[in-house]
Amino acid sequence: MFIPRHVIQKKHYAVYKPGIKTKAATLKEALKIAEKVESHAEFIDFIPAKFTLQIHFWFDEGAFKNIGEIKNFISKALKDGKDPVKEIEKAGKGKAHYDLRIKKRTAPSWFGLTPFRAPWTGTVEDKVLGTVKGYQSLSPGGEKLQTFLAEAAEKSMAKEGISERRDRIEWMQIKAQWFPIDSPGNPQKNQPAAMVAIEFFKPASLHRRQLDFFDITFFGDYLKGRYFNRLVERKMNEDEMTDWQKEAIKQGKAKAFFNLSFYFWKSRDQWGDPGTPYTMREVYQAALGKKTLAKLPAPPSKDRAKESKIQPPSATKEFH
């Protein structure tokens, strides 16, 4: 699948054409929608779900001979306690990211995010930076999301003659696959790609899901425990800015620049800790659909607009 892009003069980002939103534009729209919501989820639920965690990367021809060699590289990194994505880049073998896809047991499609480093390493003090998986950030799950994808997303993508949608279940079902240059799943014109799952249809319990936040307990080999994911707009530090941004501030043309991203981390409080109403085993049984747990009151809502634009992601604050 290939979506042509062009760069607008005096803009620092590329845009898809004609009329297809980029991830940056989609995130800005999602945040505006989320800020208009006066209150967030009132309850913590325990909805059975499944998740797949894949490594998706691109590399120069000859860097890997076949999918088996790629799987061996990833397995060795994991066995050594290292981040496969970082090891791939450190070895000069290509660029990579993670794809975390989550599906409620009865849902026809998945939702998820793209973490830029091993998602299980995210902590309150050191959150994992990531982004969202396309149009899913603009509509809540269930029937509303399906209607939105069928109408808005399909219509937009039809302008480029694209026949597949990234939310479809087929992407979650990929265990290990090689994508030749310029093929469906790999729009690159000069590099092959590959996708390898390191967690495949493992159980999870979905507690809360909103446009700018989700709260899930995972039961995988690497992703184990309760995690949060939050969309945050924050003021950029000088070392994060491009040269033109620094120059714009120096000349007084701009006062600041903001970064809009998702942050993913493991909750400080886990099921089974003193004071929690359920054990991890009970939540696991609920994830499998073998046990029904009563909903719990969610933490009080906060000022979402103020929180998203001011609070630094590196602080110990949990943002939930």
Residue 37's pLDDT band, with cuts at 50, 70 and 90, is low
Q: Which residue has the higher pLDDT, 227 or 252?
A: 227
| pLDDT, tens digit, 9 for 90 and up, residues 169-219 | 788 899 999 988 877 777 777 888 999 999 999 999 999 987 778 899 999
Gyration radius of the chain over CA positions: 20
Under 8 Å between Cβ of 153 and 135 = yes
The letter for the amino acid at 159 is: K
Model pLDDT, residue 215: 94
Model pLDDT, residue 62: 85
The pTM (predicted TM-score) of the whole model is: 0.78
| pLDDT, tens digit, 9 for 90 and up, residues 90-107 | 998 888 999 999 988 887
**Would 315 be classed as within a structural domain?**
no
**Would 168 be classed as within a structural domain?**
yes
Average the pLDDT over 98-121 and give the result: 88
**Would 222 be classed as within a structural domain?**
yes
**Would 70 be classed as within a structural domain?**
yes
- Max mean pLDDT among 30-39, 63-72, 155-164 falls in 63-72
Write out the residue range of the structural domain in which residue 294 sits.
5-310
Model confidence at 60: pLDDT above 50: yes
The letter for the amino acid at 84 is: P
Q: How many structural domains compose the chain? A: 1
**Would 318 be classed as within a structural domain?**
no
Q: 3-state DSSP: the chain helix, strand, coil percent, rounded to 5?
A: 30, 30, 45
**Would 188 be classed as within a structural domain?**
yes
**Would 112 be classed as within a structural domain?**
yes
Model pLDDT, residue 25: 66
Residue 261's pLDDT band, with cuts at 50, 70 and 90, is confident
| Separation CA 320–CA 317 (nearest Å) | 9
**Would 319 be classed as within a structural domain?**
no
Nearest C-alpha neighbor of 197 from the set 230, 174, 227: 174
